[in-house]
């Protein structure tokens, strides 16, 4: 046989090399080292998280992590549906994630992937057939049918247009509400929002459910008490059938802990209290320094019922509803 001389670049002849017998214990230790090393590396290396495609209203196209880079700042685009890992998305009631990172609205014209930081620009809630970012009050949009085109935020009008339709493999109405009390309350609030936005002809029935069939009234407090009841935490001192509290200032008497500290970070299920004349309350559905609320807004008329609309915002957009005074935590309610 021929081997390379380690002291020169020439090929030289040599005597046959004796084969060494492998020590079984050495082999076992080596294999153990490889397995342990693989396990440790597996905790730090990148691995795709199971998910499913989100189909666009543009036929044959899907929400796509451009070139499958999975890195902060990578653009999100429209691409032919191909069942690749770049099109695996995990959708829940407040976020859209890809392999542990979050769909993020950096600006109206820049939708990208970024580290999840519980930011208001990472909140996406189902609205009709699209997704609204309550912080901007704009919706996820594929502006035209073009391979690789960047997604943007645009008006939430005409959410049945192909540019704003997104079809995730999620049953939102039957989405399981799990977690602690606040998380369950937030979950039920979002599902009511989804019912409201997807069943416009059912608003009268929904409003009757929230208000217990009462005549016209400002129903922000009714909505809070209804959601708490549906989540399994009915109010004990409501003024209608025990659970329904339709007077906003009296919500505080239902067992909440009031926190008006400027450093308080609201959590899902908290109730924000606003300085509207007579009081106004909203449910926190996504916490953090800039929380997202869902609430009944009687200042905006719903043409179906002649009463208020349901709204979702990071803060009330109706100045007449006043300023946020404090949060009420549900931790003491049983």
Q: What angle is formed at CA 170 by the lines to CA 76 and CA 52, rounded to 5 degrees?
A: 50
Percent of the chain with pLDDT over 90: 68
Section 20-35 average pLDDT: 48
- pLDDT for 271-325, tens place per residue? 999 998 889 999 999 999 999 999 999 889 999 999 999 999 998 777 777 899 9
> Which residue has tokens 């008497």?
253
β-strand partners of 140: 153
Average pLDDT of the chain is 85
Q: What is the dihedral angle through the alpha carbons of 118, 320, 190, 107, rounded to the nearest 10 degrees? A: -40
Query: Cα(138)–Cα(126) distance, rounded to whole angstroms?
Result: 12
The 3-state DSSP class for residue 32 equals: helix
Residue-wise over 96-118: b if at least 16 C-beta within 10 A, else e?
bbbbebbbbbeeeeebbbbeeeb
pLDDT single digits (tens) 83-102: 999 999 999 999 999 999 99
- Cα separation, 254 vs 334, whole angstroms: 10
Residue 69's Cα: distance from chain center in Å? 21
The residue extents of the domains of the chain are 2-35, 54-168, 181-332
How much is the pTM?
0.82
User: Structurally, what CATH architecture does the domain formed by 54-168 represent?
Assistant: Trefoil (2.80)
Helix (H, G, I), strand (E, B) or coil at 209: helix
* pLDDT band at residue 23 using 50, 70 and 90 as cut-offs: low
Provide the strand spans (E) within the chain. 2-4, 11-13, 54-56, 61-65, 76-80, 90-91, 96-98, 101-107, 110-114, 125-127, 130-133, 138-141, 152-154, 166-168, 257-259, 271-274, 280-286, 292-301, 308-313, 324-329
Which residues is 257 bridged to in the sheet? 329
In 3D space, the residue among 263, 272, 307, 276 whose CA is nearest the CA of residue 293 turns out to be: 272
For residue 52, is pLDDT > 70?
Answer: yes
What pLDDT does residue 32 have? 46
Architecture of domain 181-332: Alpha-Beta Complex (3.90)
Task: Compute the Cα dihedral for 319, 321, 326, 328 and give only its sign.
Answer: negative
- Token duo for residue 135: 């912080």
Query: Where do we find the tokens 């909440």?
Result: 256
């Amino acid at each position: 046989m021929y081997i390379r001389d380690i002291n020169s670049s020439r090929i030289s002849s040599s005597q046959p090399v004796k084969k060494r017998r492998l020590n079984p214990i050495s082999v076992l230790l080596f294999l153990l080292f490889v397995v342990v090393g693989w396990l440790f590396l597996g905790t730090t290396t990148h691995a795709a998280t199971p998910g499913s495609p989100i189909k666009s209203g543009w036929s044959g196209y899907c929400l796509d992590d451009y070139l499958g880079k999975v890195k902060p700042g990578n653009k999100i685009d429209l691409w032919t549906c191909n069942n690749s890992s770049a099109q695996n998305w995990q959708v829940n009631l407040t976020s859209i994630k890809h392999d542990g990172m979050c769909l993020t609205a950096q600006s109206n014209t820049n939708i990208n992937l970024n580290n999840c930081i519980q930011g208001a620009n990472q909140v996406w809630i189902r609205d009709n057939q699209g997704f609204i970012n309550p912080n901007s009050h704009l919706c996820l949009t594929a502006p035209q049918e073009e391979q690789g085109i960047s997604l943007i935020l645009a008006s939430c009008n005409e959410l049945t247009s192909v540019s704003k339709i997104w079809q995730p493999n999620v049953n939102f109405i039957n989405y399981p509400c799990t977690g602690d009390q606040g998380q369950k309350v937030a979950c039920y609030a979002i599902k009511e929002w989804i019912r409201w936005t997807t069943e416009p002809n059912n608003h009268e029935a929904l409003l009757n459910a929230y208000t217990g069939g009462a005549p016209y009234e400002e129903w922000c407090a009714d909505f809070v008490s209804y959601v708490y009841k549906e989540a399994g935490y009915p109010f004990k001192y409501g003024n209608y059938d025990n659970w329904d509290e339709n007077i906003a200032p009296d919500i505080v008497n239902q067992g909440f802990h009031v926190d008006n500290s400027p450093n308080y970070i609201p959590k899902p299920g908290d109730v924000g209290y606003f300085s509207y004349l007579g009081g106004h309350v909203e449910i926190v559905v996504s916490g953090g320094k800039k929380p997202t609320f869902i609430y009944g807004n009687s200042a905006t008329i719903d043409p179906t019922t002649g009463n208020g609309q349901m709204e979702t915002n990071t803060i009330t957009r109706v100045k007449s509803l006043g300023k946020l005074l404090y949060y009420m935590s549900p931790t003491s309610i049983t």
